[in-house]
Amino acid sequence: MTRLVVVGNGMAGARLVSEVRARDPRIRITVFGAEAGRPYNRALLSNVLAGTMTPGQVRMLDAEWYADHAVTALPGVEVTAIDREAREVLTACGRREPYDVLVLATGGEAVVPPLPGAERAVAFRTMGDCEAILAAAGTARRTAVVGGGLLGVEAARGLAGRGLPVTLLHLAGHLMERQLDAEAGLVLGESLAGLGVEIRTGVTVREILDDGVRLAAGTGTAPGTAGAAASPSGTGESGAAGEEVVEADLVILACGVRPVTRLARDAGLAVARGVVVDDEMRTGDPSIFAIGECAEHDGVVYGLVAPAWEQAAVVAGLVTATDRTARYRGSRLVTRLKARGVELAAMGETHLTEDEAEIVRFSHRTRGVYRKLVIRDGRLVGAILLGETPAVGTVTRLFDHGGPLPADRAGLLFPGLAGGAADSPVRMPDTARVCQCNNVTKGRIRSCWESGARDVAAVAAATRATTGCGSCRDAVEGIVGWLCEQEGIPA
């Protein structure tokens, strides 16, 4: 009997366990988790912070599931070493667990910059972090979020939605600079400002204080500006040598994530930024795989849900021999912002210029709208869609499948125009992928509905749609509602 050991019980590890067990009831599975308690959907923690979901709603497999499926789950048990010669993992409590196949799903850890007073801040990465932030927010007067990437934006918006004054501090010149160009970052910042988040870009944090954050002198921009130094914004006071202190009695760090690779490195496996794997997600040791945020495939470390779950499916197919040809070829990433009042999707090569590609762009700053298509050789290679737009599904499908574009490019940004493709369930083909994380098409949702899944919860149970990043929920609701309407059934 094959002995499968999984180190890591987060989104990648838990998904692998469920995939393997669904394919083979005989494999002996043991899974170790560094965090105590049930695995949870880390991508939805921002919803917990915002109060739109409870911690229980983002939990995944429970003790009853493990018992029913003959899986030995050891949450809160840390694996400290891999003995490759003996094919065993060693734990902090002295347990030695033998394996035939070992899968590393150790994930990532929050980057905590080496700042004086960093211990006074709370990183936003785990369920424990989320609970600590919510507890502190109950008595906090002001909050500062350090880091204006995806997670920092979601955290700032979530806390502002709870009525807490929030200042978002970001080193780069505009928010989410990895996914957005400068104009999109500016429009996003203005949209957040309208929702109660003060934006300070181009700032350098020097120190975390008991009552705020000290910024380097002469850095930062005022809300609604780009590139110019600003004087103190009114939320802070002047510090030594012209430095500014932004007042905050709760400081949250959202400064990025790094892969957890110590186990692999100590075991002599190849590690670059992450644990180096091939198209089978296999390391240099043929009995050891790596998936999720800790894995580096073809020079890329993926930090989103969909790639981790695609990788888990590949490894499950190989380990159970149900798909010996399974290979991972990389993922086409679509970043969706989960923040109430802000709609954002960004994908592909968004930073190319007119000299490098055909650019189609529309901006309406006062309405918080920015739309951009990046086209090369007649194919969509990148896009930014900020603000409410019915074009998200159509554009995402064109990017995902690489199909030829219509001659009327503007029709893609404005689906109501001639030549545009409206994104309603009526016009959406059955092959359209609705849930990117779980590869669920409209046709599959229709099939589930016809089999009796008449609401979103039932569709989610049957297909896993909406259980990844959650951004497809509105689309799934629209399809289910449309199907019910066609048959005269109350949704």
Q: Kindly report the average pLDDT of the chain as a whole number.
A: 89
What per-residue confidence (pLDDT) applies to 483? 80
Binned at pLDDT 50, 70 and 90, residue 323 comes out as: very high
**Partners of 122 in the β-ladder:** 252
Residue, of 72 and 423, whose pLDDT is higher: 72
What per-residue confidence (pLDDT) applies to 62? 86
Q: Is the pLDDT of residue 297 over 70?
A: yes
Average confidence (pLDDT) over 371-375: 96
Q: Is the pLDDT of residue 228 over 50?
A: no
Convert the pLDDT of each residue in 169-182 to its tens digit: 999 999 999 999 99
Binned at pLDDT 50, 70 and 90, residue 407 comes out as: confident
79-93, 208-222, 310-324: least confidently modelled range: 208-222
What per-residue confidence (pLDDT) applies to 357? 95
Residue, of 1 and 197, whose pLDDT is higher: 197
Q: Is the pLDDT of residue 487 over 50?
A: yes
Q: Establish whether domains 118-253 and 341-423 are of one fold.
A: no
**Domain 341-423 CATH superfamily:** FAD/NAD-linked reductase, C-terminal dimerisation domain (3.30.390.30)
Q: Is the pLDDT of residue 388 over 90?
A: no
What per-residue confidence (pLDDT) applies to 386? 95
Q: Is the pLDDT of residue 238 over 90?
A: no
Convert the pLDDT of each residue in 102-138 to its tens digit: 999 999 999 999 999 999 999 999 999 999 999 999 9
What per-residue confidence (pLDDT) applies to 186? 96
Convert the pLDDT of each residue in 270-280 to its tens digit: 999 999 999 99
Cβ atoms of residues 194 and 339 within 8 Å: no
Residue, of 133 and 400, whose pLDDT is higher: 133
Domain ranges of the chain: 3-108+257-319, 118-253, 341-423, 424-491
Q: What is the pTM of this model?
A: 0.85
Q: Is the pLDDT of residue 232 over 50?
A: no
Residue, of 306 and 490, whose pLDDT is higher: 306
Q: Is the pLDDT of residue 43 over 80?
A: yes
What per-residue confidence (pLDDT) applies to 242? 65
What per-residue confidence (pLDDT) applies to 420? 42
As a CATH number, domain 424-491 is 1.10.10.1100
As a CATH number, domain 3-108+257-319 is 3.50.50.60
| Percent of the chain scoring above 90 in pLDDT | 66
Convert the pLDDT of each residue in 445-475 to its tens digit: 888 887 788 888 888 888 988 888 777 887 8
Q: Is the pLDDT of residue 389 over 80?
A: no
How many residues would you count in the chain? Answer: 491
Q: Which CATH architecture has domain 118-253?
A: 3-Layer(bba) Sandwich (3.50)
What per-residue confidence (pLDDT) applies to 426? 59
